[in-house]
Amino acid sequence: MIAAGALLLLLVLATILHSHILVGRSQTIARENQALVARLGATDIALFTEARYTRHPSQADLHTPFQDHPGAFEHFPSGSLIGPPPRLRDTHARLDRATEVPD
């Protein structure tokens, strides 16, 4: 039992070693991908391709999740997995303050 515990502990430590080895190996790929981002001018990752605002969450405009009608519930599954960009939470306030002529 103690041997099994020691083995498990060793395996957990091995995951840390494994992660370090893989980080070293993946640096070339990371550099290539960064170059690709610069070449394309890409802004988002392609993890959720089902809706515009989940494919490009950073480019989504303020009301996209509610495009069907105001107050609509989110209907794309991935829209409920990721939160709205932090930018969208405070844009209204910032724009209001930036307005030169009061409304």
- DSSP classification of residue 37: H
In terms of CB distance, is 32 or 72 closer to another protein? 32
In the complex, the smallest distance separating the C-beta of residue 32 from another protein, rounded to whole angstroms, is 7
Q: How far apart are CA 37 and CA 39, in angstroms?
A: 5
Phi, psi of 5 (to 5 degrees): -65, -45
**Please, where are the H alpha helices in the chain?**
2-40, 52-55, 86-98
> Which residues sit at the interface with another protein, rule CB under 8 A?
1, 4-5, 8-9, 11-12, 15-16, 18-19, 22-23, 26, 29-30, 32-52, 54-59, 61-63, 76-78, 80-83, 85-87, 91, 98
In the complex, the smallest distance separating the C-beta of residue 33 from another protein, rounded to whole angstroms, is 5
